[in-house]
């Protein structure tokens, strides 16, 4: 037990590396999330030094974590889930094991949402991304992607807030699936072209380099580009 601010401040002054890890996504941030469906505090990367007792310091690098599809716990607007049928969502939920760890409650799921992901990347100030659970999509013949929202007949590429978000409908495109097992792959060049194209599409759409790709739950099931 110690004064964390003093301890970390000294470590930073000595040039030591400090790693902060956050739990919740940007849309649960009390200021930048979908209020009131948020936590009670700030969870975006910029607040990590503040919460750790280093209010005058800044991050040298921010790595965003982005799933290869969308999931949501609890109530609130979730446009991406409208882009799939109930049967499609049940299948994705089953393959991705999208159930609450403590309660077993089914999570809401949908395709990856470019609009929400781009907003999250901006909120986090992410320098690069880690794309997780790409292997979950192995079974899909074609992979849906929410590219825009339709809000009252207007096609928008920004993340709306307030009542407008409740009226947002997903605009969906489909990319070819790869239909093979990715879990044993460790190098970018060994990924099937369709999987490479999906990753490249996502990073261009959200405007941030995807540096890490996970293809399974184990620590070594990762591709570093």
DSSP string of 6-59?
HHHHHHHHTT--------S-GGG-TTTSSTTSS-SS--SGGGHHHHTT-TT---
Q: Which residues pair with 145 in a beta bridge?
A: 112, 173
Q: Indicate the domain borders of the chain.
A: 1-60, 61-224
CATH superfamily of 61-224: Adenylosuccinate Synthetase, subunit A, domain 3 (3.90.170.10)
Q: What is the pLDDT of residue 194?
A: 99
**Segments in the chain below pLDDT 70:** none
34-46 pLDDT, tens digit per residue, is: 999 999 999 999 9
Helix (H) and strand (E) counts in the chain: 6, 10
Q: How would you label 47-72 residue by residue, b for 16+ Cβ within 10 Å and e otherwise?
A: bbbeebebeebeeeebbbbbbbbbbb
Q: What is the pLDDT of residue 22?
A: 87
120-168 pLDDT, tens digit per residue, is: 999 999 999 999 999 999 999 999 999 999 999 999 999 999 899 999 9
| Overall size of the chain counted in residues | 225
- Going by the DSSP 8-state scheme, the letter that residue 155 receives in this structure is E
Residues 133, 67: contact at Cβ < 8 Å?
yes
């Amino acid at each position: 037990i110690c004064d964390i601010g003093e301890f970390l401040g000294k470590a930073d002054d000595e040039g030591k590396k400090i790693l902060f890890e956050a739990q919740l996504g940007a849309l649960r941030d009390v200021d930048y999330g979908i209020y009131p469906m948020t936590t009670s505090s700030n969870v975006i990367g910029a607040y990590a030094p503040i919460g750790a007792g280093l209010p005058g310091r800044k991050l040298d690098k921010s790595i965003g974590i982005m799933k290869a599809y969308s999931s949501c716990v609890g109530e609130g607007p979730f446009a991406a889930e409208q882009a799939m049928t109930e049967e499609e969502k049940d299948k994705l939920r089953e393959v991705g094991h999208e159930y609450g760890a403590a309660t077993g409650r089914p999570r809401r799921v949908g395709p990856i949402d470019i609009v929400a992901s781009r907003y999250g990347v901006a909120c986090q100030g992410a320098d690069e991304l880690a794309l997780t659970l790409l292997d979950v999509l192995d079974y899909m013949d074609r992979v849906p992607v929410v590219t825009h929202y339709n809000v009252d007949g207007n096609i928008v590429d920004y993340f709306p807030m307030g009542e407008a978000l409740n009226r947002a409908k997903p605009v969906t495109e489909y990319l070819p699936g790869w239909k093979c097992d990715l879990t044993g792959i460790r190098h970018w060049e060994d990924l099937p072209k369709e999987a490479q194209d999906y990753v490249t599409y996502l990073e261009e759409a959200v405007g941030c380099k995807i540096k890490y790709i996970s293809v399974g739950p184990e620590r070594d099931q990762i591709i570093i580009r």
